[in-house]
Chains A and B, each alone.
Chain A
Amino acid sequence: MILPRFEYKKARTIDEAMELYNKYNGDAFYLAGGTDMIPLLKQRLFSPKAVIDIKGIEELNVIRKKGGNLLVGPNVTLYELKENPHIKKYFPCLFESLDATSCETLQMRGTIGGNIMQNTRCLQYNKSLEWRTARGFCYKMGSKECNVVPHAKLCFSNYCGDNAPSLMTVEAKVRLVGPDGIRTIKMERLFSGDGKAPFTVKSGEILKEIVIPLKETKGVYEKLTVRGSIDYPLVGVALTVIGSSARVAVTGIGPLPRLYELKEVNEKTINEIADKAYEDAKPVANAVLTPAYRKKMVRVLIKKAYNRIESGGKR
Chain B
Amino acid sequence: MKTIKVTLDVNNEKITLQVKPYETLLETLRERLSLTGAKEACSLGSCGSCTVLVNGKPMRSCLILTPEVDGSSITTVEGLKKGDKLHPLQETFMEKGAVQCGFCTSGMLMTAKGLLDRNKKPDKKAIIKTISSNICRCTGYKKIIEAVEEASKRLG
Contact = CB atoms under 8 A, between A and B. Distances in A.
A6 B59 CA distance: 22
B37 interface: no
Nearest to B67: A8
A22 interface: no
B57 interface: yes
A1 interface: yes
A54 B59 CA distance: 18
Contacts of B117: none
Contacts of A109: 59-60, 63-64
B68 A106 contact: no
Interface string A281-304: 000000000000000000000000
Interface string B1-13: 1101000000000
Contacts of B152: none
Q: Which of the four size classes fits the interface of chain B?
A: 20 to 34
Contacts of B59: 105, 108-109
Interface stretch (A12-20, A34-42, A200-208): A34-42
B46 A230 contact: yes
Contacts, number: 84
Contacts of A103: 48, 130, 132-133
Contacts of A62: none
Contact of A35 (B2, B22, B45, B67): B45
A44 to B, nearest CB: 12
A35 B2 CA distance: 25
A34 B21 contact: no
A122 interface: no
A101 to B, nearest CB: 12
B35 interface: no
B129 interface: yes
B106 interface: no
Interface of A: 1, 3-8, 10, 31, 34-35, 38-39, 42-43, 51, 53, 55, 102-106, 108-109, 228-230
29 contacts: A3-B22, A3-B23, A5-B22, A7-B2, A8-B21, A8-B67, A10-B67, A31-B65, A31-B68, A34-B65, A35-B63, A38-B45, A39-B63, A51-B22, A53-B65, A102-B133, A103-B132, A104-B115, A104-B129, A105-B59, A105-B60, A105-B130, A108-B59, A109-B60, A109-B63, A109-B64, A229-B133, A230-B46, A230-B133
